[in-house]
Structure 1
Amino acid sequence: MSFWKTLAAGAAAVSLTMGAGAALAADTTLKIAFLGSEDDEDFDGSLVFKNYVEATSNGALAVDIFPNGRFCSNADECSEALLDGRLDIYITTNGGLAGWYPPAQFLDLPYLFPNDRVAECVFDGPLTAKIREAVLEDVGAARLMAISNTGGWRNIATTSKQVKSPEDVEGLKLRTIGADIQIELVKALGGSPTPIAWPEVYTSLGTGVVEGTKNGITDIVNMKFQDHLKYISLDGHAYMGALWWMNEDVFQGLPDDQKRIVYDGFQELKMTARVLPKRKAVDAFQAFVDAGGTIYTPTAEQKAAFQAAAKPVWDWYEENFGREWIDAAQGAVSACEASLEAEFEAASQ
């Protein structure tokens, strides 16, 4: 039994004796915590959730928001708080979910999603329900409520060399997060993956410890990485999903009408947190250019070359976790592409 499932099992026993009565109280307060700041789309989405839930429930539900690590100071601490019932709502990245449920690394398979519309369609469909059920089965205490976005797309940004093809990555020291699948991607492209903690990236770029990074444009500009990064290639190798979780016992302890209010509130949150990174990216790209940066969009042929070069990452995933999630994800992408194409055909007649 995994650490997370063991923790969840113990928490469930406690909540059966203590949590149900509190959840049914007339004035239930839901606590949301995350590590980002008030400038993040996560905070804006949480504000929309709070406004919707409190107004629609006529005060029967209240929402408290704890940004900046004020409730829990790191991802493991926040995860533990969610699973043992001290925290009601928490957000993870794709990589963060993989810490609970390792097969979830499929969400970061390179070039899985072609664009925002397809990714959003997929995350509004059956694949999200499949993830929800798998985590409830394996972890037991966390219910997936919605998937939004936390920064746009991961792109390759460098200090002194424009990347237009996989060959241009050869030998480059690229900062990655510690996730296996991100490290495997840099290896597949011929680069040297260098995991570095987020607070140390700025200095590492300035001193040459790394020659580039793989981040969304809003994160780059928020951290002033444009002081050192001078080139971005919009290869879009990973959609930066944000998964919103609610403690399962807290959710199930709500009366049905409040469950619906909370669920609908998450859909309002999701729409807000998906749109804001797109709007913020407009100003962020301009700030990057104003700092002397160059932005490049790979051609269709170059994008195909990146996809071909990244195939070993897919092979690595299949060797470790099989094809179940690959097939489910590719099927969902194909279905959404067909649906969006039919929508366009109907609208353009």
Structure 2
Amino acid sequence: MKKTLLTLATTAALMASGTALAATEFNVVHLTSPDSYNHQSLLVFKNHLETRSNGELTVKIYGSGQLCGSGKECIAGVQAGMFDYFPTTVSEIAYYWKPAESFDLPYLLPNDRVAECVYGNDQFIADVRGNVLKKAPNVRLMMVANSGGWRNFATTKKAVKTPEDVNGMKIRTVPAKVQQDLVKELDGSPTPIAWPEVYTALSTGVVEGTKNGIVDIIQSRFHESLDYLTLDGHAYMGGAWLMSDMKFKSLSPELKKVVLDGIAAQQQYLMSYPKHNEYASYEEFKKANGKIYNPSTEEKEAFKKATQPVVDSWASNADAEGKKWLERFQNEIKTCQAKIDASYQLSM
């Protein structure tokens, strides 16, 4: 019996070794820490692929900018086939396909339900994917998920309660033109600063505020410098997850389904994460003597009206393709809002 067990164990080990050698490996890169929602969501992705494929797929995660130091650098690595999966932002997709910039225009998406409905539309994402692939070969958009909630004005010296309050303030922005134009339109001074440098910029007074969601603020300890947070929700922080098209197409139909199901599970995690962590994050902000202001519907409308020229200017300067996609995005929003309104009626 001992000999039989030893033989079986040896055979199993050899089979496992053979399976490991034959496994398809996904090398995943991201720029945030192991505590971040991106990394945690990738554990969901990793678990799903490795368990559901019986070892045919393996996932290695390289976080904290180990293998690439910026969004552009990481995307270039995906395009070159060096990396297989990477999370970026909707606004960074626009570096390759300009119409995606319209998805980041201020105050177009009104709330989570509408945003999730729009980005959960498979046909909409498929059409965006096709256009991105044309401009950036091998860069395959797999999904758009939430990446930390909504961008809000968070400041160090005074609260932002009206559009006029931004006047003269140095506000940190991402490099995206739309986000910089938003601050300019409110007579503020947009200051693009790389993510790893934001903490120092706030603590040393290089900037007087930033545009982030509460979860990111707490995770990155920005609340040590910030005193005010205004929940104006001017932009939904859509996280665009990009995969090597060659890697995806190299898989069998069965393994492609495993990957797609893994991404669906990962998306569910990312959509729920900010909602799950918002309350504790708000409480942490308050404990640090931070003050939170939630504008009324009328006050939010004032912000939207004040920044409408950003939307109008983008539309007037866009080419025919850009205009078409802005219109489609707005129509997707209207369709989703109508569905949600109908569900209200059924429930009430």
TM-score if structure 2 supplies the norm length? 0.89
Deviation at 1:78, TM superposition (A): 1.2
Q: 1:293: which partner in 2?
A: 290
Q: 2:11: which partner in 1?
A: none
The equivalences for 1:99-118 within 5 A come to 99-118=95-114
- Classify 1:248/1:219 alpha carbon distance in 2 versus 1 (closer, same or farther; 3 Å): same
1:55 aligns with 2:39: no
Q: 2:178: which partner in 1?
A: 181
Deviation at 1:273, TM superposition (A): 1.3
Greater CA deviation, 223-232 or 284-293? 223-232
Deviation at 1:79, TM superposition (A): 1.1
| Paired residue secondary structure (1:113) | coil
1:269 aligns with 2:266: yes
- 1:339 alignment partner AA: K
Q: 2:198: which partner in 1?
A: 201
Q: 1:343: which partner in 2?
A: 343
Unmatched segments (≥5 aa) in structure 1:
1-24
- 2:67 alignment partner AA: F
Deviation at 1:89, TM superposition (A): 0.9
Q: 1:37 aligns with which of 33, 36, 59?
A: 33
User: For residues 94 and 135 of structure 1, what CA distance do their matches in structure 2 show?
Assistant: 11
| Paired residue secondary structure (2:39) | helix
Q: 2:230: which partner in 1?
A: 233
User: For residues 311 and 259 of structure 1, what CA distance do their matches in structure 2 show?
Assistant: 42
- 1:68 alignment partner AA: S
Deviation at 1:177, TM superposition (A): 1.6
User: For residues 203 and 48 of structure 1, what CA distance do their matches in structure 2 show?
Assistant: 32
User: For residues 204 and 71 of structure 1, what CA distance do their matches in structure 2 show?
Assistant: 25
- 1:29 alignment partner AA: E
Contact 2:99 2:326 in 1 (8 A): no
1:71 aligns with 2:67: yes
- 1:216 alignment partner AA: G
Q: 1:149: which partner in 2?
A: 146
| Paired residue secondary structure (1:148) | strand
Contact 1:127 1:328 in 2 (8 A): no
User: For residues 237 and 160 of structure 2, what CA distance do their matches in structure 1 show?
Assistant: 21
Q: 1:219 aligns with which of 213, 216, 220?
A: 216
Contact 1:44 1:273 in 2 (8 A): no
Contact 2:103 2:326 in 1 (8 A): no
TM-score if structure 1 supplies the norm length? 0.89
Contact 1:31 1:89 in 2 (8 A): yes
User: For residues 320 and 102 of structure 1, what CA distance do their matches in structure 2 show?
Assistant: 12
Deviation at 1:128, TM superposition (A): 1.6
Greater CA deviation, 67-76 or 294-303? 67-76
